[in-house]
Amino acid sequence: MSIIESIPQQTEAPEQTDFAILDLAQKDEGQLLGWLYSHVDQREIPWASLYQGTALANHWTTGPILIELREAPAFHQALIERYQSECLGMLISAPDVSLETMADHLRLRAIVEKDGKPSVFRYYDPRSLGPLFAVLEPLQQQQLIGPGSQWLWYHHGQWQQASSSRQDGEFSENKSFVISAEQLARMDQARSHLFALSLAHNYRGYIPSDDADSFVLSEVKAAQELGLATQADQDRWLRMAIKVQGPLQESSQWRQLAQGTDQTPLQILSQLECEQGR
pLDDT in 10s for each residue of the chain, 278 residues: 233 334 444 546 888 999 999 999 999 989 999 999 998 876 789 999 999 998 889 999 999 999 999 999 999 999 999 999 999 999 999 998 999 999 999 998 888 766 677 778 899 999 999 999 989 888 888 888 987 889 999 988 889 999 876 666 666 555 667 788 888 888 888 888 888 988 998 899 999 999 999 999 999 999 999 999 999 999 999 999 999 999 999 999 999 999 888 899 999 999 999 988 76
β-strand pairing of 111-114 with 19-23: unpaired
- For residue 141, give the nearest of 174, 114, 184 by alpha carbon: 174
CA-to-CA distance for 187 and 47, rounded, in angstroms? 30
Reduce the DSSP state of residue 152 to 3 states and report it. Answer: strand
Contact 49, 106 (CB under 8 A): no
CA-to-CA distance for 110 and 107, rounded, in angstroms? 5
pTM equals 0.77
Domain ranges of the chain: 4-177, 203-276
Contact 65, 73 (CB under 8 A): no
CA-to-CA distance for 269 and 249, rounded, in angstroms? 10
CA-to-CA distance for 209 and 199, rounded, in angstroms? 14
Task: For residue 224, give the H/E element and its range.
Answer: helix 212-225
CA-to-CA distance for 27 and 62, rounded, in angstroms? 9
- For residue 17, give the nearest of 81, 65, 84, 71 by alpha carbon: 71
What DSSP designation does 263 have?
A: -
